[in-house]
Amino acid sequence: MVNGQYKKMLEEKSIIRQLSEFAADRGRQIGYENVFDFSLGNPSVPVPEKFTEVMVELLKNRNSMELHGYSPSLGIASVKEKIADSLNRRFGMNYTGNHIFPTTGAAGAVAHALRCVTSPGDEVLTFAPYFPEYNLYVNMTGAQLKVVPANTQNFQINFEKLEEMLTKKVAALLINTPNNPSGAVYSEETLKELSDLLSRKQKEYGHDIFLISDEPYREIVFGGLEVPYVSKYYDNTLSCYSYSKSLSLPGERIGYVAANPKCRDAELISAICGQISRGIGHNCPPSIIQLAVAEVVDQTSDMSVYEENMNLLYDELTSLGFSCIKPGGTFYIFPKALEENEEAFCRKALAYDLVLVPSGSFGMPGYFRMAYCIDTEKVKRSLPVIHRFVRENYQ
Amino acid sequence: MVNGQYKKMLEEKSIIRQLSEFAADRGRQIGYENVFDFSLGNPSVPVPEKFTEVMVELLKNRNSMELHGYSPSLGIASVKEKIADSLNRRFGMNYTGNHIFPTTGAAGAVAHALRCVTSPGDEVLTFAPYFPEYNLYVNMTGAQLKVVPANTQNFQINFEKLEEMLTKKVAALLINTPNNPSGAVYSEETLKELSDLLSRKQKEYGHDIFLISDEPYREIVFGGLEVPYVSKYYDNTLSCYSYSKSLSLPGERIGYVAANPKCRDAELISAICGQISRGIGHNCPPSIIQLAVAEVVDQTSDMSVYEENMNLLYDELTSLGFSCIKPGGTFYIFPKALEENEEAFCRKALAYDLVLVPSGSFGMPGYFRMAYCIDTEKVKRSLPVIHRFVRENYQ
């Protein structure tokens, strides 16, 4: 019989999915250019040309059996070394290829990292607001996700609440900086305080506490900000990365887990990820995608459009009286809704063909998320519409 | 702390992997051309040219955001339709795109199908000899794999033993035709008898029994043999396919689960697979690989070399007195070893730089597997070596 647990999951439809389906339907009615769809985090800039060149080069010149043959089960050694070298060069780390496990994006990386360092019954902590898929990634391991309330001043960490919740049952923390949905970037100060607390608790409890750092937006930062590299601050860190956003290729499903060389069992993490992957029949990301990405590890797409869009929206929203942290990165902004019930707020916006995501599913009611990975021209056209929506409903 | 279950799995090293590492080491010592490595099932013929052309075409002419953007979580609709159409045309089925779920090869397909139709505590039956990774795919679901002893006459099904083991606890059967390692192809007669038995037992027990059909070798058959399409014979069938072997691109990890339109909850299987995939953060196979494969669904690489190799080996082995079923397909042959202890037999062969896989891990002692997806020239050079090995040890 069909598995009941999965069947039940089908009933819980993602709100983001529903909204993006609404936007698509509405687009068919009134023209896509007239729907201001801020629901989806799909990159809106092209892949770097070099990636396409490398792909074509591989297809034309590489022996096809070598190119399309089985990747070693822990990933292609030369690819892992190039990723390690790039991280070492940029962040002063000491990875070797053996610390890198190629995955299907950051989602795959986080799901593997969680299975690596938790056992059923453990607790995993994350921080509101958080990416709703974390619920699933954690629940499927048999561990339990607990959400530390936000520091709503600046979306750094609420250390008081964290310390309360950081009991002996906690095996891992899952953080996301730059953050989806808030756009906040953890400061060096935050990471140092976090590291101190975790180190102290590890000693107190006599067991490891892993930090799983979900970093798909690491390269999308604004105003010349430097994103501190999380793993530099705490040894028991597994960094989860995706090239989806930085290279604009989310459909190609490529990223990695990088185990800090000083973390517990550092030399085993990659091999354990291999076992996890084997159990689901997945094995590695496709050979050709691994090989192509390895040639552009230090590049990104031209992401200046995201900063331009952010500034346009931030200025408009704050001038309209929205309370809002200025994003340090990502392509999201997370203002407070103008009424307590953020679902009602977002529902009213739909009447203006403004598709905003209510914040409930991010573990934090009262806010909404806008994904501004769309054309700047459209962002500009949305500003008077947002203005009209606010004036007609809240002024 | 690092998960103990996975850590333990690392200790159980695959014999096939060990042998192929031996072959690589030995190759470095004496030259690869002098090692007769029959250990690995890595296709030895090029990908069809059309696949490469389509990939280059997509990279050069398709808008990169569209090409590399997120695939819908259940796969790209046009791709699923092309796969369904091809199956309908070739096998007289009535699939729609909604019955097809793209996966990372047949391994991913089998692992997803198993999670779909079993629950922890269920039993899954397979048949000796069987692909050793089945243990892992089944164990990771919380179900238990039980192995029905072989029909050693012809490697069809031992129905007497099957009926004994087909208790009420059995949720699914996992079959593999053409079979790795035996090369046997289930006849229409076998499939009809299997279908009758399963239908009878479904009625008797009052619950569904699913047939998971692992078919990565469906296109590699010899002597003009037609492989009966399993799903035609039994409605509760999930067909698991890979393009790895037929298109020679195992590294690109692409295949699918096809749910028989008449199976229980047929309209939900794909969506449930989507939930399973989401839980491991995998989502879909890469967009570009999905799109490219969809254009060559009716093609295969030129696989005549496998038949030539099979005939050379079969003739030599039988003339040397080996007891051996003539493979109807795949690129494997599975003769009986010349002594009871097949590991000792294979160890002795290594002294001749003949790398043969002992059959223990296939759930059936006393045999050995040869993977003949290697150059015919090398197969020819191996024949006198096999001859010498047998003469010096067993005559």
- Which tokens is A93 given? 């780390």
Name the pTM for this structure.
Answer: 0.95
Mean pLDDT of chain B: 95
What is the mean pLDDT of the segment spanning B225-249? 97
Q: Is A212's Cβ below 8 Å from some Cβ in B?
A: no
Cβ-based neighbours of B44, under 8 Å, separated by 6 or more: A65, B305, B373, B374, B375
Reported as a single tens digit per residue, the pLDDT across A233-257 is 999 999 999 999 999 999 999 999 9
Q: State which amino acid sits at residue A129.
A: P
Is A145 or B5 the better-scoring residue by pLDDT?
Answer: A145
Reported confidence tier of residue B42, pLDDT bands at 50, 70, 90: confident
Cα separation, A148 vs A256, in Å, equals 26
User: Chain A residue closest to B122 (CA)?
Assistant: A1
Among candidates B171, B280, B284 on the partner chain, residue whose Cβ is nearest the Cβ of A111: B280
Cα separation, A63 vs A69, in Å, equals 10
- Which tokens is A347 given? 């529902």
Reported as a single tens digit per residue, the pLDDT across A47-56 is 999 999 999 9
Cα separation, B260 vs B232, in Å, equals 8
Per-residue burial over A106-138, b = 16 or more CB atoms within 10 Å of its CB, e = otherwise: bbbbbbbbbbbbbbeebbbbbbbbbbbbbbbbb
- Between chains, do A105 and B60 touch, taking CB under 8 Å as contact? no
Reported ipTM: the value is 0.95
- Between chains, do A46 and B59 touch, taking CB under 8 Å as contact? no
pLDDT of B290:
97
DSSP state letters, A368-389: EEEE--S-HHHHHHHHHHHHHH
Cα separation, A207 vs A93, in Å, equals 24
Q: Which of A383, A387, A325, A392 is nearest to A38 (CA)?
A: A383
With a cut of 90, say whether residue A58 has pLDDT above it. Answer: yes
Cβ-based neighbours of B277, under 8 Å, separated by 6 or more: B73, B103, B112, B283, B284
For residue B43, list chain A residues with Cβ-Cβ distance below 8 A: 65, 69
pLDDT of A300:
94
Residue A66's H or E segment, with its range, is helix A64-67
CB atoms within 10 A of CB A335: 22
| Radius of gyration of the CA atoms of chain B, in A | 21
Q: Which A positions 357-376 lie with beta carbon below 8 A of chain B?
A: none
Q: Which B positions 93-132 lie with beta carbon below 8 A of chain A?
A: 103-112, 115-119
For residue A49, list chain B residues with Cβ-Cβ distance below 8 A: none
- Between chains, do A278 and B108 touch, taking CB under 8 Å as contact? no
Q: Is the peptide bond before A178 cis (omega within 30 degrees of 0)?
A: yes
Cα separation, B335 vs A28, in Å, equals 62
Q: Is A79's Cβ below 8 Å from some Cβ in B?
A: no
Q: Which of A236, A273, A38 is nearest to B6 (CA)?
A: A273
Give residue A366's region: left, alpha or beta (phi > 0; psi -120 to 50).
Answer: left
Residue B357's H or E segment, with its range, is strand B357-358
Among candidates B42, B55, B271 on the partner chain, residue whose Cβ is nearest the Cβ of A69: B42
Minimal CA separation from A247 to chain B, in Å? 10
With a cut of 80, say whether residue B194 has pLDDT above it. Answer: yes
| B328 and B178 Cβ atoms separated by less than 8 Å | yes
Per-residue burial over B353-370, b = 16 or more CB atoms within 10 Å of its CB, e = otherwise: bbbbbbbbbbbbbbbbbb
Q: Is A272's Cβ below 8 Å from some Cβ in B?
A: yes
Q: Is A206's Cβ below 8 Å from some Cβ in B?
A: no
Largest Cα span, chain B: 67
Residue B173's H or E segment, with its range, is strand B170-176
Reported confidence tier of residue B5, pLDDT bands at 50, 70, 90: confident
DSSP state letters, A77-122: HHHHHHHHHHHHHHH-----GGGEEEESHHHHHHHHHHHHH--TT-
Q: Which A positions 19-58 lie with beta carbon below 8 A of chain B?
A: 42-47, 52, 55-56
Cα separation, A222 vs A307, in Å, equals 6
- Which tokens is A70 given? 């089985």
Minimal CA separation from B340 to chain A, in Å? 32
Q: Is B13's Cβ below 8 Å from some Cβ in A?
A: no
Largest Cα span, chain A: 66
Cα separation, B286 vs A289, in Å, equals 9
Reported as a single tens digit per residue, the pLDDT across A68-104 is 998 888 999 999 999 999 999 999 999 999 999 999 9
Q: Which of B350, B367, B381 is nearest to B29 (CA)?
A: B350
- What are residue A103's DSSP bridge partners? A255
Reported as a single tens digit per residue, the pLDDT across A157-198 is 999 999 999 999 999 999 999 999 999 999 999 999 999 999
Reported confidence tier of residue B73, pLDDT bands at 50, 70, 90: confident
pLDDT of B22:
87
Residue A129 phi, psi dihedral angles, 5° rounding: -80, 145
For residue B117, list chain A residues with Cβ-Cβ distance below 8 A: 1-3
CB atoms within 10 A of CB B391: 10
Q: Is A168's Cβ below 8 Å from some Cβ in B?
A: no
What is the β-pairing status of strands A36-37 and A237-242? unpaired
Q: Which A positions 135-154 lie with beta carbon below 8 A of chain B?
A: 136-137, 139-140
With a cut of 90, say whether residue B9 has pLDDT above it. Answer: no
With a cut of 90, say whether residue A288 has pLDDT above it. Answer: yes
Q: How much of chain B, in percent, has pLDDT values that exceed 90?
A: 89
Cβ-based neighbours of A46, under 8 Å, separated by 6 or more: A248, A301, B64, B65
Cα separation, B106 vs B185, in Å, equals 17
Task: Give start and end residues of each alpha helix (H) in B141-265.
Answer: 159-165, 188-205
| A385 and A393 Cβ atoms separated by less than 8 Å | no
- Between chains, do A108 and B249 touch, taking CB under 8 Å as contact? no
What is the mean pLDDT of the segment spanning A25-36? 94
Reported as a single tens digit per residue, the pLDDT across A185-232 is 999 999 999 999 999 999 999 999 999 999 999 999 999 999 999 999
Q: State which amino acid sits at residue A211.
A: L
Mean pLDDT of chain A: 95
pLDDT of A73:
87
Size of interface A-B (CB pairs under 8 A): 233
Among candidates B103, B251, B272 on the partner chain, residue whose Cβ is nearest the Cβ of A287: B251
Reported as a single tens digit per residue, the pLDDT across B324-344 is 999 999 999 999 999 999 999
The position carrying tokens 């230090």 is A298
Q: Residues A338, A342, A345, A349: is their CA dihedral positive or negative?
A: positive
